[in-house]
Amino acid sequence: MNPGTVVNEKLDHWRALWDDAYEQPVSEGDPSLNLAGWTSSYTGLPIPAAEMREWVGGTVGRILSLAPTRVLEIGCGTGMLLLRIAPRCASYYGVDFSSSALAYVDQQVRAAGVEGVKLCEGQADALPLAATDRFDLVVLNSVVQYFPDADYLQRVLDSAVEHVAPGGTLFLGDLRSRSLLPCFHSSVLLRQADSDRPLAELASEVERNVATEMELTFDPTDIEAIAVELPCLASVKTQLKRGRRHNELTCFRYDAAIRLEDDPCRPLAAEDDRKEVDWRDEALSASALRRWLGGKPGVHLTLHSIPNARLVKEVEALRLLRRREDIETAGQLATALRQARLRGIEPEDLWRLESGDDEGERVVEVDWQAGSADRYVARVGSRSCRLSCCTPQVELVGHR
């Protein structure tokens, strides 16, 4: 089939699916948290509102930390971000290919009296923009997975970047991890499996589900490869999702911020860090690190190989499922996991180190670790000091 036809068929599929989701009756409750279409892969039921509130709070916080004033959101859906961010900006332009989504957002914007909002029906690769339109932030949150392929994402970014002011950011939120896709599918199937379900059957189903996955997935390296094709690229930064709850959003998704040149405040960048610490070598804990950082506001360090509390069990489960040496059923695998007593560090415990600094200066970034499914990296730095001007002479001894 002609590749253009395949792309259009995929777009039609997703548009019909989203239109259908938005035409369902809206459940009672907070109208700014309309969860149409947010279904749990584990239960087939709506993702609990408390989990979505945490998700939306984390995402909005991350976007507001970029201090945007003129925002374009591509795929604004029911306005969960728009209704929270637009009141803090001069203007907010929401585009979506679902007219039902836009009708809902329009109603909420009027009811709440939010000013400076413009809405328009449009497809991400044919943005309804004038040549002179400029934004300091373009948001694509939880949208990219519904794009037909990676070339489509590249085309969308190529055209969006022309409307980003110097120093602006393209925020790609809620990206689904490609490397973690087998782990995601095994986690879902194991949660649903009866305890006597044979692991061999489950292992084949995982591989089948990975092969037939409809949604698009990317690793941070894929996003970097796409971003380097953009003109005026300054930096690409990926981070794990915020949140304490373990669910498919916090465990298997992440955000990427692509900054364009003319950025006065340089972000923490791996190449700038002077001190590298292996979490395992130091046998650290979050509280030991907090004590050690106290009174050292200028310290910059990169901590790597931190066991991810969200994923240590899920990754071990997939390993056992694939190996199947001594265990044959889902129930035996659950017992083996319980006995393994796997523990990790909550990423939120590292972000909390920001609030431990009285000056409000400390910045913590938490990112996936390349090549490792269940380890992550945390970079600790300060807001005001360019990393290259600091001389972090630090020794992490005696803090085990």
Ligand X SMILES: C[S@@+](CC[C@H](N)C(=O)[O-])C[C@H]1O[C@@H](n2cnc3c(N)ncnc32)[C@H](O)[C@@H]1O
Per rule CB under 6 A, is residue 75 in the interface with ligand X?
yes
> Three-class SS of residue 374?
coil
Per rule CB under 6 A, is residue 18 in the interface with ligand X?
yes
CB-based contacts of 367: which residues, under 8 Å, 6+ apart?
A: 220, 237, 238, 239, 240, 254, 376, 377, 378, 379
Per rule CB under 6 A, is residue 81 in the interface with ligand X?
yes
Per rule CB under 6 A, is residue 123 in the interface with ligand X?
yes
Site for ligand X in 34-53 (CB under 6 A): 37
CB-based contacts of 43: which residues, under 8 Å, 6+ apart?
A: none
Per rule CB under 6 A, is residue 80 in the interface with ligand X?
yes
Shortest spacing between CB 258 and ligand X, in angstroms: 17
Q: Which structure tokens are listed for 301?
A: 């360090």
Which of 77, 307 has the CB closer to ligand X? 77
Binding span for ligand X by CB under 6 A among 70-78, 190-198, 199-207, 321-329: 70-78
Shortest spacing between CB 382 and ligand X, in angstroms: 31
Site for ligand X in 205-224 (CB under 6 A): none
Binding span for ligand X by CB under 6 A among 71-79, 185-193, 325-333, 383-391: 71-79
Which of 32, 209 has the CB closer to ligand X? 32
Per rule CB under 6 A, is residue 190 in the interface with ligand X?
no
Question: Binding string, 142-181, against ligand X, x = CB under 6 A?
Answer: xx--xx----------------------------------
Shortest spacing between CB 76 and ligand X, in angstroms: 5
What are 135's strand-pairing partners? 164
Which of 125, 374 has the CB closer to ligand X? 125
Number of residues that bind ligand X (CB under 6 A): 20
Any idea what DSSP says for residue 111?
H
CB-based contacts of 144: which residues, under 8 Å, 6+ apart?
A: 153, 172, 175, 216, 218
Cα–Cα distance measured from residue 13 to residue 17, given in angstroms and rounded to the nearest whole number? 6
Choosing from 35, 71, 76, 181, the residue that interacts with ligand X (CB under 6 A) is 76
Shortest spacing between CB 395 and ligand X, in angstroms: 43
**Largest pairwise CA distance in the chain:** 65
Choosing from 98, 186, 187, 247, the residue that interacts with ligand X (CB under 6 A) is 98
Binding span for ligand X by CB under 6 A among 94-102, 175-183, 185-193, 315-323: 94-102
What single string gives the DSSP state of each residue in 154-199? HHHHHHHHTTEEEEEEEEEEEEEBSTTHHHHHHHHHHHHS-TT-BH
Cα–Cα distance measured from residue 366 to residue 303, given in angstroms and rounded to the nearest whole number? 10
Binding span for ligand X by CB under 6 A among 72-80, 272-280, 322-330, 358-366: 72-80
Cα–Cα distance measured from residue 243 to residue 102, given in angstroms and rounded to the nearest whole number? 28
Per rule CB under 6 A, is residue 77 in the interface with ligand X?
yes
Q: Which structure tokens are listed for 169?
A: 């950011």
Closest residue by Cα to residue 21 from 125, 163, 132, 142: 142
Binding span for ligand X by CB under 6 A among 92-100, 230-238, 305-313, 319-327: 92-100
Binding span for ligand X by CB under 6 A among 69-77, 129-137, 216-224, 277-285: 69-77
Per rule CB under 6 A, is residue 109 in the interface with ligand X?
no
Cα–Cα distance measured from residue 55 to residue 204, given in angstroms and rounded to the nearest whole number? 32
Shortest spacing between CB 124 and ligand X, in angstroms: 4
Shortest spacing between CB 330 and ligand X, in angstroms: 31
R_g of the chain, CA atoms, integer Å: 22
Q: 45-49: long-range contacts at Cβ-Cβ below 8 A with a sequence spacing of 24 or more?
A: 47/247, 47/249
Per rule CB under 6 A, is residue 102 in the interface with ligand X?
no
Which of 102, 315 has the CB closer to ligand X? 102
Any idea what DSSP says for residue 26?
P
Q: Is residue 79 a contact partner of residue 104, using CB atoms and an 8 Å limit?
A: yes
Closest residue by Cα to residue 231 from 302, 174, 164: 164
Binding span for ligand X by CB under 6 A among 73-81, 235-243, 256-264, 337-345: 73-81
Shortest spacing between CB 77 and ligand X, in angstroms: 3
Q: Which structure tokens are listed for 151?
A: 């070339």
Q: Is residue 147 a contact partner of residue 223, using CB atoms and an 8 Å limit?
A: no
Phi, psi of 378 (to 5 degrees): -125, 135
List interacting residues with ligand X (CB under 6 A). 11, 14, 18, 37, 75-77, 80-81, 96-98, 101, 123-124, 141-143, 146-147
